[in-house]
Structure 1
Amino acid sequence: MARLTEIQVRNLRALEEMDLSPDGQVNLVTGHNGAGKTTLLESIYLLSRGRSFRGSDLRQLVTHGKQAAAISGTVAVGKAGRRLGLTISGRSARARLDGADGARRPEIARLLPVLNLDARLMDLVDRGPERRRLLLNWVTFHVEPGFNAAWRRFRRALRQRNASLRQGAGANAIAAWDGEFCRAALEMEALRKAVAERLRPRFAKIAARLTGMPADWDYHPGWPMEDSLEEILRAGLDGDRKQGNTRFGPQRADLILRLESRRARYIASRGQQKLLASSLMLAAAEVLVKEGANRPVLLVDEPLVELDADHGRELLKAFVERGAQLFIAAVETAPYRRWMEAREIRLKEGALV
């Protein structure tokens, strides 16, 4: 199974120079506030996805007074090592794979699958469907080889159709995109629904263990499946024109989370929301591990906040049991030392100590 064996960071926020050989299982990143813990997690996320989870302005990532930031790492795949790199300068980011510029982002993402569990984790439960949909897309991308091509075709058709709607194009011009829109939508939906069905029992089992309550979800694909999507688009054209966008399709899909058969968004406490959201992420990681994709890296920032001791202990056990490579950032380390074995990575003012 793949694992991140080395990471080098230069001029990324507070981390001016850091070389690290992490543990293949559990890494506990410690230090006071401002020491660079979250930036270390961010560097791994950037290496995989080419963007930050802390904002879209790449210029803010480079250490003040420096021209560029650079991140590189080695992913061990079997007995081989693959070198990943990212250079950030101004508004641009350039990826490298095995020393070659212009690496394709999907290939890098598959080599180093990364999930981020930060302070916004509970948005998976108490906000709109976008983050849940993105998570489902992410899992499907990693375990269904045909998904990325179908998704790209669909996104192109959706952009063109929406542009035609906003420009006031005629019905024929808009309908010209409906065929490709529907073909790609049905293809990606079949793959995504199959993955959702494999995720669902894992989520239910993990969430029931962590919350002590029955948990489930209702999956909505984004349109009434008993009707033809092409007919729905045709019948809804006037409404789409008024809104300036396409109201039906996979871009509207959702996983509606339930706790004791009720919508979790409205009845779950903050701690329960955190456990449900963590259960979603853990189910996603488990599917990747079980289905032969590269082993995921979980980036977890202060997982015990909002939780009592019993629930915190069970959550940490669940993290370890999934088989992912873990990076956990925390200020207070005592609970982690009691409940798990980990390599401690201590940071002070942006440097290893």
Structure 2
Amino acid sequence: MSISRLTIESFRNLSSAQLSPGDGLNLIYGANGSGKTSVLEAIYFLGMGRSFRSHITQRVIQREADQLTLFAQLQQEHPAQGSKVGFRKHRNGDTDVKIDGSRVKRLSVLAETLPIQVITPESFSLLFEGPQSRRQFIDWGTFHADANFYPAWVNVRRIMKQRNQLLRDGASYQQIQYWDNELVRYAEPVTEARKRYVDSLNERLKGIIEEFLPQVQLKISFTRGWDSKTDLNQLLEQQYLRDLGMGHTVSGPHKADLRLRVANLPAQDALSRGQLKLLVCALRIAQGRLLRQQTGKNSIYLVDDLPSELDAQHRQLLLKQLTDTGAQIFVTAIEPAAIVDCLHIAPSRVFHVEQGLVTQIEHTMRE
């Protein structure tokens, strides 16, 4: 799957932009603040319904505009899948999403239609921040791999919200016990689906890690969010007084995590910053390849500021791994030579962004 036409209106400093990307690698270059990252952010919005740069959606709407509008014409592997995606966000918070002209209510439909992998300088949050980022990474892949995961996951979130509210209200355990039984009911399929996915991801990751970090013995494991030797229902009852005192549920599937270790150390303590960036890239590439294997869909890769942290040799290695996926790729850089000189084939398209104006460069930048 790829984007053949992209329209952006009133999105950050992009008042109006139309792009016709190629199937392969699309290079977007320009000075800092020109708007090149905003192009990637707009694509991410179309696939996720939110930004990878800000939690406050209204900030991406231009100041003088009441709404932003995004539209993509897609080329799909399967003709039955949606081929037109439209997204409109109003300043009052209302959102309109259409696929092939039909309005959709769930943003999860966007993720099904337009799978997005993003690699940015902020991608280190996968390793350095708390387990939420790693859990989101697992859940993205599990969502695509197992059709039964999403409804069970929605129920876990609903039940956790109800249980935590009861804890804050000082409810007795008898009042909470019903919700514990419901939580256990849905925690099992969520946890099993996550574990299966991580096991599959490990198989895809091995060869990529050998290419990126040949001297590193990396071990990746899934933790379900509570002691594996303890029954969850029993644990919830045992920890009721603790949960009551804290006002939230301490253990459960909402605490699942992905652990990455080198020898006996967390990866973030054992690897250099450049190695960590390669590790994050390897995880994203492995996830995209697994998606292709499991569903027949290609991800779209958004890679922002790729030259930072990586020398020319590793940029070349990363770009080769990305292009070998056969997926559509959007890469930004300040200087185009930092990307072009590391490619074994010319970019499919080259775009220059200056003060919010996007221009396609008609000729390749390397003979």
Q: What's the CA shift for 1:352?
A: 2.0
Give 2:164's aligned residue: 162
Q: Which amino acid aligns with 1:208?
A: E
Give 1:115's aligned residue: 117
Q: Which amino acid aligns with 1:46?
A: F
Larger mean Cα displacement after TM superposition, 138-147 or 338-347: 338-347
Structure 1 segments unaligned to the other structure (5+ residues) = none
Tell me, yes or no, if structure 1 residue 326 matches structure 2 residue 358.
no
Superposed, 1:94-243 pairs within 5 Å as 94-212=96-214, 213-243=216-246
- Runs of 4+ displaced beyond 3 Å: 78-81
Tell me, yes or no, if structure 1 residue 10 matches structure 2 residue 16.
no
In 2, Cα distance between the equivalents of 1:104 and 1:82? Answer: 17
Q: What's the CA shift for 1:35?
A: 1.5
Superposed, 1:307-322 pairs within 5 Å as 307-322=310-325
Q: Which amino acid aligns with 2:213?
A: T
In 2, Cα distance between the equivalents of 1:136 and 1:34? Answer: 32
In 2, Cα distance between the equivalents of 1:314 and 1:102? Answer: 40
Q: Which amino acid aligns with 1:312?
A: R
The answer to whether the 8 A contact 2:9-2:68 is kept is yes
The answer to whether the 8 A contact 2:153-2:186 is kept is yes
The answer to whether the 8 A contact 1:14-1:349 is kept is yes
The equivalent position to 2:293 in structure 1, one of 290, 294, 313, is 290
The answer to whether the 8 A contact 1:286-1:323 is kept is no
Superposed, 1:64-103 pairs within 5 Å as 64-77=63-76, 78-79=78-79, 82-90=83-91, 91-103=93-105
Q: Which amino acid aligns with 1:242?
A: G
Q: What's the CA shift for 1:259?
A: 2.4
The equivalent position to 2:351 in structure 1, one of 326, 345, 348, is 345
Q: SS state of the match for residue 232, structure 1?
A: helix
In 1, Cα distance between the equivalents of 2:264 and 2:20? Answer: 45
The answer to whether the 8 A contact 1:73-1:83 is kept is yes
How much identity, in percent, do the aligned residues show? 31
In 2, Cα distance between the equivalents of 1:92 and 1:339? Answer: 43
Structure 2 segments unaligned to the other structure (5+ residues) = 360-367
In 1, Cα distance between the equivalents of 2:262 and 2:208? Answer: 13
In 1, Cα distance between the equivalents of 2:264 and 2:327? Answer: 30
Q: SS state of the match for residue 122, structure 1?
A: helix
Larger mean Cα displacement after TM superposition, 335-344 or 45-54: 335-344
In 2, Cα distance between the equivalents of 1:128 and 1:323? Answer: 32
Partner deviation per Cα, 1:56-114 (whole Å, 9 max, x = no partner): 22221122212221001112223466211111111232211112234432222111011
Partner deviation per Cα, 1:19-54 (whole Å, 9 max, x = no partner): 111111211111111221111001111111111112
In 1, Cα distance between the equivalents of 2:288 and 2:264? Answer: 25
The answer to whether the 8 A contact 1:204-1:216 is kept is no
Q: What's the CA shift for 1:17?
A: 1.0
Q: SS state of the match for residue 95, structure 2?
A: strand
In 2, Cα distance between the equivalents of 1:293 and 1:93? Answer: 29
The answer to whether the 8 A contact 2:312-2:342 is kept is no
In 2, Cα distance between the equivalents of 1:293 and 1:166? Answer: 45
Give 2:50's aligned residue: 51
TM-score when normalising by structure 2? 0.92
Give 2:281's aligned residue: 278
> Superposition RMSD on alpha carbons, in Å?
1.5
In 2, Cα distance between the equivalents of 1:79 and 1:253? Answer: 37
Check 1:204–1:215 CA distance in 2 against 1; reply closer, same or farther (3 A cut): farther
Give 1:27's aligned residue: 26
State how many pairs are aligned.
352
Q: SS state of the match for residue 291, structure 1?
A: helix
The answer to whether the 8 A contact 2:49-2:110 is kept is no
Partner deviation per Cα, 1:255-280 (whole Å, 9 max, x = no partner): 11122453212121111111111111
In 1, Cα distance between the equivalents of 2:211 and 2:253? Answer: 31
In 2, Cα distance between the equivalents of 1:129 and 1:247? Answer: 14
Q: Which amino acid aligns with 1:336?
A: I
The answer to whether the 8 A contact 2:198-2:221 is kept is no
